[in-house]
Chains A and B, each alone.
Chain A
């Protein structure tokens, strides 16, 4: 069986790839610690429970990124002749779903609190012998759960663009959502301190719109990518890419016309190039040379097959194997 070439990233992107892996490991460990601390301080507070659930959801993107980035490097095999590049798209889909669910849950939770007109109690308790309003402690925990997430998210964005890694991109959006939720919760707690019972829920509801919007657009994009939509890579233009490949093919002497059908497979672009010939059949080395020309156009080109005289499907055929 003819397997797809083993290729994921060029040499010059390897340091960026390693940096992204480290950032995600740090994110995962940090979020795990946030989930643990939240679990300890949440008590019976519904708002803190919701924040805890959201932080648990935000473990999904870094985890799926870390699994995918290992899988995509595997060489194609007889069972997986195209390689494992799509693992990254699956990671993107699960991360987007986690982001979307987080927004949806936040919206549900805060609207219910508003509808039921829940009046949140934030107790004053003795801590090391001093009466302390627990709101201040909660704000401290929320800052811990929001600030590093904001910084990590900011650091991941340029890496995601360079690597065309949309799972990483969705995770950066998740980190942004984390800190936005934390900011909303802080405003809510301060508002409750002023006797405004709706402050907490209203701030959360406000933030949930932008998280749902982010989650939905990523979810749509990952679904579209799995449906072999024409490529729309990060940090590059899919149409320009197709145009450049076409021009490269048409510059070759033995090719008369060329057209391409491309799809994004994980970080890479796969597809077929349909060509008609000017004269006689080209030699094997000429075909290999043409394919190399395509691959050299952009590091994102994984495997583009040359098809000569491709015919369309015949609906009358009822043969079966």
Chain B
């Protein structure tokens, strides 16, 4: 039984904590010092087009994620350098610490989460089956599942809907005259469809940061609301 060593380490930790209290530095700190760098020069943000989350309009990014990053910059007093690129290349640069943030409609389920760290949720939307017509339609679950609903091929939702026994047809793009579809609530709204029944799943959107930048991570979390809700729904004029 060697109990002396951990006691020494723990007292060292206590000393460190005291030192921390004395100098009042930012805690937790970044491993690479991203936030400090951003303060000295600018916050370097990689942007990969993904409407309605972020897209390039008249030489500047707009969308939910652009607004969030501007709010962060304002809160921390930072200038922003927007860098437009391909998602894979931007994330690769982020992994190596060459960027401070990447925005591109990423979700918590991104397979990149091993290589970069994903922020606190910036938006949580629900995926519903939506039917044409205003007002809430009351319909039995079995009936809803027997109707043929459209799902965008590139939305990543088709196989998940099939797993839940929905009858679906894959389409390239939802159109205005779609009679029923499965999509995130804001997409349904865009196409004049009303969410019906229970949500199929939750989608959590996030921004990406380099691993270990715990001060930047904390600053970003602080500039987000505790319960973000479905941001594209809040920003669209209804």
Contact = CB atoms under 8 A, between A and B. Distances in A.
Given A120-B211, A123-B221, A124-B217, A186 B5 contact: no
A218 to B, nearest CB: 11
B63 interface: no
B147 interface: no
A194 B29 CA distance: 5
Interface in A106-164: 118-126, 129-131, 133, 135, 150, 153, 157
Contacts of A180: 2-3, 5-6
Nearest to A197: B31
Interface stretch (A81-89, A171-179, A220-228, A274-282): A171-179
Nearest to B218: A124
Chain B contact patch, size range: 35 or more
A214 interface: yes
| Most chain B Cβ neighbours within 10 Å, of A131, A157, A172 | A131
Contact of A187 (B2, B10, B30): B10
Given A121-B211, A121-B212, A121-B214, A129 B28 contact: no
B88 interface: no
A43 B163 CA distance: 25
Contacts of A210: 2, 5
B39 interface: no
A44 interface: yes
Interface string B70-96: 000000000000000000000000000
B22 interface: no
A126 B6 contact: no
B20 interface: yes
A203 interface: yes
B163 to A, nearest CB: 23
B28 A119 contact: no
A195 B31 contact: yes
Contacts of B28: 122, 124, 133, 135, 192-195
Nearest to B9: A187
A193 B214 contact: yes
B211 A119 contact: yes
Contacts of B60: none
Interface residues of A, number: 40
Interface in B207-230: 209-215, 217-218, 221-222, 226-227
Interface in B3-41: 3, 5-6, 9-10, 12-13, 16-17, 20, 27-33
B113 interface: yes
A207 interface: yes
Nearest to B16: A190
A151 B82 CA distance: 55
Most chain A beta-carbon contacts within 10 A, residue among B209, B214, B221: B214
A176 B4 CA distance: 11
Contact residues of B: prevailing secondary structure: mixed
A183 interface: yes
B147 to A, nearest CB: 37
B1 interface: yes
A260 B30 CA distance: 68
Contact of B27 (A119, A157, A194, A197): A194
Nearest to B223: A131
B9 A124 contact: no
Contacts of A157: 1
Contact of B221 (A118, A126, A135, A214): A126
Contacts of A121: 117, 209, 211-214, 217
B193 interface: no
Contacts of A203: 9
A308 B217 CA distance: 81
A265 to B, nearest CB: 26
Interface string B184-205: 0000000000000000000000
Given A123-B117, A131-B218, A195 B29 contact: yes
A170 B173 CA distance: 65
Contacts of B181: none
A44 B117 CA distance: 10
A91 interface: no
A270 to B, nearest CB: 29
Contacts of A44: 113
B120 interface: yes
Of A190, A192, A195, A196, most B-chain CB atoms within 10 Å? A195
Given A124-B222, A133-B218, A183 B9 contact: yes
7 contacts: A119-B211, A125-B120, A130-B226, A131-B218, A195-B214, A207-B5, A210-B2
The list of the 10 closest CB pairs from A to B, nearest first, reads: A119-B212, A195-B29, A121-B117, A124-B218, A183-B6, A193-B28, A126-B226, A124-B221, A119-B211, A197-B31
